[in-house]
Each structure stands twice: as structure tokens, then as C-alpha cells.
């Protein structure tokens, strides 16, 4: 290797001149690149360098400067400018990570998903490996992304930086605020293709679609009964154990699921954010508003299969169905008392639970 070569230790390398084919970064691009968070650049650059056939092949010359992935290369049509000592500077490494052709070369070998940035690939791969390097110092819970840890820590600090401009309610995540604002705008962008019903939350649409598909992915490990929603399984499991882990801070009343606790807490706060656009009546729960609006629309979606009578509420249909049923298949394991409906059995079992 001749004098002045970038690989000579301690030698003052001449000012590098971009070779034909190099991308010359503008001043604004350099400023953007230098604003990248410290410590992330080399991680992104690692193994992100893809060469075309006309750019040449990597050689094994150990005296050549090392690329970020540890590979030596001397025949590069798009070579890196030299710096003092070995390696490349952060700005040059960052320019290599930006795939200006729009291609996404960072491919996950497990599922085939590709990413523009290698850092995103590394984060994604933790889904496959189960790695969770970000740990909460307050409760010990771990996360695969630093952003997820940041959001989680707001549970401990009570911080809710995202505030609704309409009602003043605050949230820990911007996504929760966006979803909440649809209550005010009445926007329902998620539409069921089977029945045209719309929802303001994609998760609600997914749960609703199971009513068409009959899918019940949540199974009770004690009795084998399956449910379409996780909350229904949680409620059901309470009948086996009598567990009520969600306690109200105001009155110490316990609940088997968090959603029941949230609804209960509205009785203390008096908050009623759901308003009927027809008569102005307000409700603490959206489900109560939906049921109320059927008074105005005359909608009775719950139909008795025995006599054809329709009802505006599912509970009314369940109560009515009992008038047709002579059999009582739901038996109490404590006292052998029988019931026509499972809901009646559950209410009865509370007597035994105390």
C-alpha cells in the first residue's frame, strides 16, 4: 500500500475527493444528518451497504479501512471518503443508510418483512426473539422499544400530555386522544363490509367482525368455553374464582375486569361525556347512548327466534326468551338450583361467593 493510503496508521490522509458515482450531500442534507441522535448512526449503517455489480466486489485486503459491518473493500465505485485512522465518520455512515432509490434492503429473515432503516429491522426482530431490553425501574416491566417504555412510565408519573381541546380530558398517548376526539366529531372511519356498521376504533371493528365469522379465539382453561372477546373471557373466569383484582380507589369496590371499574368510577366523578344529538340527554357510557338512540330511531335489532318479537336491548330479549324455555340447563354447582339463562346463574352464584 502506497504512502498516504487511508489504511496507514498515524499517517495524515489527504482531503478526500468524492469518486465518480458518489452522492455529494448538500449543506441542508449534512445538517439533517448531523441532527441524528448520538449513538444510532453506526447501528443503522451496519450491513446496510448494498453494492451493484458495476460497483465491484469486496476484497480481503486487511490494510483497507473497515466498513461499519467490518468488511474490507478496495474496489468501490462509490467509495467512502477517508478519515484519520480506521473507519468512517458518522455523517458518511448515515449517508450510506439512506437508500435513495426507495428500496428497502433490510429484510427480516423470519417473516420476510422489509424496512428502510436497519434500526427499525433490529426493533422488529425483537418480536421474534422476545428480547425486551428497556426495563421500567419502578415496576420491573420490560419493553422491546424505548418509546413503549416512555408511554408506560406515564402510568407511574401520572403524566397525560395529550389534552382534548373540546372537553379538556387528557391522555397518555396521542393515539388515545385521536380516538377520543371521534366521540366529538362522530367520525367512524372503520366500516364492516358485511353489515355496513361503522366504528371509531379499529379494535371495535375486529371484535364486531367475529359476530359474522363466529370466531371465538379466547378459551377458558377451566371449562373449555370459548369467547369472541378477551373481556368476556375475563368476566367468565371470575365465575370460577370470584377474583376481583380491579379495586376502586374511592370506595374499595372490586371488579373482575378493568372496563367495569372504569364504568364504575364515572359514578364518583359524575362525568357524562356522551350526548344524544336528538334530545340532548347525556350518558356516562357510549353503550347507554347507543341503546337510548333506538328510542328515536325505533331500531329493535334483537329478534326472538321462537315468536319473532323484537327488542331494542339484548337484555330484554334474553329475559323474554326465558318465557319460551321450559328447560333450565344452567345448574349451580353449589346447590343444584337450575336456571334458563347463564346470566341468571352467574347472578345467583354471587350469593355463594358472599
Mind listing the pLDDT tens digit for each residue in 91-101?
A: 334 434 444 55
CB 35 within 8 A of CB 94: no
Q: Is 198 helix (H, G, I), strand (E, B) or coil?
A: strand
d(CA 156, CA 175): 19
Domain assignment of residue 73, yes or no: no
State whether 152 and 192 are in the same domain: no
CB within 8 A of 74, min separation 6: which ones? 59, 61, 64
**Using an 8 Å Cβ cutoff, are 5 and 11 in contact?**
yes
pLDDT in tens, 110-119: 898 898 899 8
Is 303 part of any domain? no
**Least confident range of 16-20, 214-218, 259-263, 322-326:** 16-20
Residues 263, 269, 271: CA angle, nearest 5 degrees:
75
The answer to whether residue 174 sits within a structural domain is yes
Average pLDDT of 221-230? 84
Q: What is the mean pLDDT of residues 187-207?
A: 88
How far is Cα 103 from Cα 48, in angstroms, rounded to an integer?
11
Same domain, yes or no: 186 and 246: yes
Exposure string for 7-43, b = 16+ CB within 10 A, e = fewer = beeeeebeeeeeeeebeebeeeeeeebeeeeeeebee
Query: CATH no. for residue 116?
Result: 3.30.160.60
In a domain, residue 189? The reply is yes
Please give the pLDDT value at position 129: 92
The rounded percent of the chain whose pLDDT value lies above 90 is 7
Last residue of a domain, which of 207, 232, 257? Answer: 257
221 with 179, same domain: the answer is yes
Q: Cell numbers at residue 320, please?
A: 323474554
Q: What pLDDT sits at residue 279? A: 93
Least confident interval from 60-74, 253-267, 279-293? 60-74
Most confident of 44-53, 87-96, 166-175, 224-233: 166-175
Q: Could you list the residue range(s) of the whole structural domain that residue 240 is in?
A: 170-257
Other CB atoms within a 10 A radius of the CB of residue 143 amount to 18
Residue 149 and residue 194 in one domain = no
Q: Rounded to the nearest 5 degrees, what angle is found at the Cα of 61, between the Cα atoms of 60 and 62?
A: 105
- The bridge status of strand 246-247 relative to strand 226-227 is unpaired
Q: Examine the fold and report which residue of 225, 257, 289 is the final residue of a domain before the chain moves on.
A: 257
The residue among 257, 278, 306 that closes a domain is 257
Look at residue 123 and tell me if it is in a domain. yes
318, 274, 310, 309: which is closest to 293 by C-alpha? 274
Considering the domain architecture, whether residues 146 and 188 belong to the same structural domain is answered as no
Q: Is 164 helix (H, G, I), strand (E, B) or coil?
A: coil
Asked if residue 243 belongs to a domain, the reply is yes
* Number of compact structural domains in the chain: 2
Whether residue 191 lies inside any domain: the answer is yes
Which are the contacts of 350, defined by CB distance < 8 A and separation ≥ 6? Answer: none
Answer whether 204's CB lies under 8 Å from 190's CB. Answer: yes
Do 117 and 187 have their domain in common?
Answer: no
Q: Is the pTM of this model over 0.85?
A: no
Same domain, yes or no, for 150 and 192?
no
Does residue 340 fall inside a structural domain?
A: no
Residues 214, 142 share a domain: no
Amino acid at each position: 500500500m502506497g504512502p498516504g493510503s487511508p489504511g496507514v496508521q498515524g499517517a495524515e490522509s489527504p482531503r478526500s475527493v468524492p469518486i465518480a458515482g458518489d452522492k455529494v450531500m448538500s449543506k441542508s442534507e449534512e445538517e439533517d444528518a448531523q441532527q441524528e441522535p448520538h449513538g444510532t448512526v453506526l447501528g443503522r449503517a451496519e450491513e446496510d451497504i448494498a453494492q451493484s455489480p458495476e460497483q465491484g466486489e469486496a476484497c480481503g485486503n486487511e490494510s483497507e479501512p473497515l466498513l461499519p459491518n467490518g468488511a474490507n473493500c478496495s474496489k468501490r465505485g462509490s467509495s467512502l471518503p477517508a478519515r484519520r485512522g480506521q473507519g468512517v465518520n458518522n455523517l458518511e455512515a448515515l449517508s450510506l443508510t439512506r437508500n435513495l432509490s426507495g428500496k428497502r434492503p433490510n429484510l427480516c429473515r423470519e417473516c420476510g418483512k422489509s424496512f428502510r432503516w436497519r434500526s427499525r429491522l433490529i426493533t422488529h426482530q425483537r418480536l421474534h426473539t422476545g428480547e425486551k431490553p428497556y426495563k421500567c425501574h419502578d415496576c420491573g416491566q420490560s419493553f422491546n422499544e424505548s418509546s413503549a417504555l416512555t408511554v408506560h412510565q406515564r402510568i407511574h408519573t401520572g403524566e397525560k400530555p395529550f389534552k382534548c381541546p373540546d372537553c379538556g380530558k387528557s391522555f397518555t398517548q396521542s393515539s388515545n386522544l385521536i380516538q377520543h376526539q371521534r366521540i366529538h366529531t362522530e367520525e367512524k372511519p372503520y366500516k364492516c363490509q358485511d353489515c355496513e356498521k361503522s366504528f371509531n376504533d379499529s379494535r371495535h371493528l375486529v371484535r364486531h367482525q367475529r359476530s359474522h365469522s363466529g370466531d371465538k379465539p379466547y378459551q377458558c382453561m377451566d371449562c373449555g368455553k370459548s369467547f369472541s372477546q378477551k373481556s368476556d373471557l375475563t368476566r367468565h373466569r371470575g365465575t370460577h374464582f370470584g377474583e376481583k383484582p380491579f379495586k376502586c380507589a374511592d370506595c374499595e369496590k372490586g371488579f373482575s375486569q378493568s372496563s367495569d371499574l372504569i364504568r364504575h368510577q364515572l359514578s364518583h366523578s359524575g362525568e357524562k361525556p356522551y350526548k344524544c344529538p336528538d334530545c340532548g340527554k347525556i350518558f356516562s357510557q357510549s353503550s347507554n347512548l347507543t341503546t337510548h338512540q333506538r328510542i328515536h330511531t325505533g331500531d329493535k335489532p334483537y329478534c326472538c327466534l321462537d315468536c319473532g318479537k323484537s327488542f331494542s336491548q339484548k337484555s330484554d330479549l334474553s329475559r323474554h326468551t326465558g318465557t319460551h324455555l321450559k328447560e333450565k340447563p344452567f345448574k349451580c354447582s353449589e346447590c343444584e338450583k337450575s336456571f334458563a339463562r347463564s346470566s341468571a346463574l352467574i347472578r345467583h352464584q354471587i350469593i355463594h361467593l358472599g
